[in-house]
Amino acid sequence: MSSAYYPLTATGGRDHPTGYELMNNGLLNKGTAFTPAERDALGLRGLLPPRICTLDEQVSRALRNLRGKSSDLEKYIFLHALQNRNETAFYRLVLDHLDETMPIVYTPTVGQACLEAGVIFRRPRGMWISIEDKGRVAQTLANWPHQDVRLIVVTDGERILGLGDLGALGMGIPIGKLSLYTACAGVHPYYCLPITLDVGTDNKALLEDETYLGLGRPRARGAEYDEFIEEFVQAVRERYPNCLLQFEDFGNHNAFELLDRYRNRVCSFNDDIQGTASVALAGLLASSKLQGMTLADQKLLFFGAGEAATGIGELVVAALCDDGMEESAACDRCWFFDSKGLIVKSRTGLTPQKAKFAKEHPHLTDFAEAVRLLKPTSILGAAGVPGVFTREVVETMAANHPKPGVFALSNPTSKAECTAEQAYEWSRGNAIFASGSPFKPVVYQGRTYVPGQGNNVYIFPGVGMGVLASGSRTVTDGMFLAAARTLAGMVTPAELETGRIYPSFNNIREVSLRIATAVAEIAHDEGLARVARPADIAEDIRRRMYQPDYPEFA
């Protein structure tokens, strides 16, 4: 949202803080950019050095400091501190240097920041609501100072990236996701609230760590957990009726259960299931062009069958059905291999998500053998098992297909199924490679290949902005399908020529705008919108997008 939608801007006619209180308000603080007149009017005279700096000068100084840090974790701490004290300068820096800052603000560095959160903790941001608050969640939520929250990203910390159960230390994920909503799609930070639900942790190392900041108890399960989540969702619904709720990094079982339970009760979605599916589908649509085939021609083999992998499979099926294929035939294009081997009908105890894709085929327990026998056109990894795309696997893929798809989607980088360099070298430069975390361009036999990063940031900010701008009552699978097709359509021929199947991050705001427009159009067309349809949806959304510029105080 633009500053016109933000109720605390100085020009909006509302009261605003002054003096030290103003300088400690990250949304309004201008630091050394306060003018002499503002310093007099706002009680800041003497509280700041006398030199007046422009925003550009502040960002330049911050960039020098950032680049002087000795490690990515130190850079994360610096940017986090800047965000807390001056959000305008933070977002200007991030937007002006997106390729450099995004790997710090989010993957892969945010994973390390979560692991170290108990040690690097400086100042709280967002809300921790624990299961000990059960029975008073609404009162706890009311402690948040902003009255018109429109966007909440919430986690219970059980499945942080590919790192597992980090409990209360997972707060870096909601914070990072909301930072990307603002930077990439222009959702005003005033409307954003990161929340961690602390229900305990089953991570023994954390329970024995004196620096751990969460509850020192095992995870709540069953009725206790369900009742707590229900109370939380109901409290959000009552206090923030216009809010979009994004579930993030929940364990597989809870992720599917919560999505099914709440998607039609509150405006909500799960990014690990639906956002990951959308960005992966976009990559498959773009890579199909390089492979000289359509999506219907693909035969996909997934390593992993959790929320991310099966979510991709479900959206692939939806896309194929939308193109006219029967659902059973669409399901036949997707094969899954989990920790127990190939998912086949002879196996017992399969979850509903897995059973849908079970095949009549002998059970296999060796992934390389499955690749050899099934001859998939693309393999997709989403289980957080590093190195599972071995040389044998990639060479077999290259022997079976002239341009095999190799999607190493697990985050962070340490969990990637293979590296970009390995994919290109082992396939002799023929692989179409995409990853969850960034990899640098690779030079192989004199040619430069630019790896595609299948980052959810291409999808969820635009989807969220479209939902908020239209006031949609729900988030549909059709919106994620439209987002995938929009994203795939934005990859230029020049980018495809380098092997890149996603557009440059430097164009992320335009990507988000187009996705938001497509999503808002669906909301209006399907009668889901709660606001009147603008004459020009794209222009209406563009006008709402937050720009990191300082307000002028009267």
Q: Which helix (H) or strand (E) holds 128?
A: strand 127-130
* Residue 389 CB contacts under 8 Å (≥ 6 apart), including other chains: 303, 379, 381, 406, 408, 417, 418, 422, 423
Rounded Cα distance, 96 and 415, in Å: 29
Beta bridge partners, 160, equal 164
CA 509 to chain centre: 15
Q: Could you tell me the CA-to-CA distances from 15 to 8, 290, 324, 402 in Å, in that order? A: 7, 57, 57, 65
Q: Which helix (H) or strand (E) holds 56?
A: helix 55-67
- φ, ψ of residue 443 in degrees (nearest 5): -100, 120
- Residue from 106, 191, 240, 502 carrying the catalytic annotation: 106
- Tell the residue number behind the tokens 């597992």, with chain if given: 164
Count of alpha carbons within 13 angstroms of residue 476, beta-carbon side: 19
Q: What is the DSSP letter of 14?
A: S
The count of other CB atoms within 10 Å of the CB of residue 88 is: 24
Q: Which helix (H) or strand (E) holds 272?
A: none
Q: Are 374 and 364 in contact (CB under 8 A)?
A: no
Rounded Cα distance, 314 and 509, in Å: 27
**429 φ/ψ sector (left φ>0, alpha ψ -120 to 50, else beta):** left
Q: Are 71 and 103 in contact (CB under 8 A)?
A: no
Q: Are 111 and 73 in contact (CB under 8 A)?
A: no
Closest CA to 279 of 180, 179, 398, 394: 180
**Interior/surface letters 46-73, b for 16+ CB within 10 angstroms, e for the rest:** eebeeeebebeebbeebeeebeeeeeeb
Q: Could you tell me the CA-to-CA distances from 252 to 84, 235, 257, 333, 549 in Å, in that order? A: 32, 24, 9, 23, 40
The count of other CB atoms within 10 Å of the CB of residue 362 is: 9
Query: What amino acid occupies position 355?
Result: A
Q: Are 335 and 342 in contact (CB under 8 A)?
A: yes
Whether 106 is catalytic: yes
- Residue from 177, 354, 403, 415 carrying the catalytic annotation: 177
Q: Which two tokens stand for residue 413?
A: 């980088």
Q: Are 310 and 336 in contact (CB under 8 A)?
A: yes
- Tell the residue number behind the tokens 């659902």, with chain if given: 327
Residues involved in catalysis: 106, 177
